[in-house]
Amino acid sequence: MPDPHAAPRGADVSCVLEARGLAVRHGRRQTLAPCDVQLAAGEVLGLYGPNGAGKTTLVQALACLHPHASGEVRLAGARVGADLSLLDFHRRTAVVFQDVLVLRGSVLDNVELGLKLRGVPRDQRTRRARHWLERLRIGHLADRVARGMTSRSPRSTRRPGRAWSTS
């Protein structure tokens, strides 16, 4: 029996996540011009820009959380909605937004949550979460209480970017 998660025959699997001609419209207004994005395994993408530039819209469209007017999203070569169901795509991907619901507990507890919900054993999820905290150079925050750590300056003209990881 073929693997339902396998990429279609002949697909370019060097890109774990790929978008081609992805565009978003809100009514008659185009909020994301057609764009192409490619992410290889282990690559981290950061998006920076002024408010209203389309960072969140792009991440939502890449995550198939926002309907797109044109283009396609592929995961490991499989076209979302055709070769791979939207449900399977969402089961295999995750997005962390800038404004998140911070739960009780430490930063590490919050980073581990998605893995915990997927049934990953504690030692594995702790190791993986610590790896990503270190990779993002915030490992020193792992044991800090998460609630109350966010800070916003009303004078800021640019928000921190959105991020997507393909690991």
Q: Encode pLDDT of 27-43 as tens digits.
A: 899 999 999 999 998 88
> Two tokens at 80?
């979302």
Beta strands in 68-145 (DSSP E): 70-75, 78-79
Q: By residue range, what is the domain housing residue 32?
A: 1-98+159-167
Same domain, 136 and 90: no
φ/ψ of 7, rounded to 5, equals -70, 150
pLDDT at 18: 94
Q: Label residue 156 by pLDDT band (50, 70, 90).
A: very low
Same domain, 40 and 90: yes
- As a whole number of angstroms, the distance between CA 128 and CA 135 comes to 10
CATH of the domain at 60: 3.40.50.300
Specify the 3-state DSSP secondary structure of 24: strand
Please state the domain count of the chain: 2
Same domain, 4 and 61: yes
- Supply the mean pLDDT for the chain: 81
- Of 38 and 51, more confident: 38
pLDDT digits (tens, 9 = 90+) for 100-150: 566 778 999 988 988 888 889 999 999 999 999 999 889 999 999 877 665
Same domain, 59 and 18: yes
- As a whole number of angstroms, the distance between CA 122 and CA 159 comes to 33
pLDDT at 98: 66
Same domain, 9 and 79: yes
> Two tokens at 18?
């790929």
- As a whole number of angstroms, the distance between CA 58 and CA 48 comes to 12
- As a whole number of angstroms, the distance between CA 133 and CA 152 comes to 21
Q: What pTM value is reported for the model?
A: 0.58
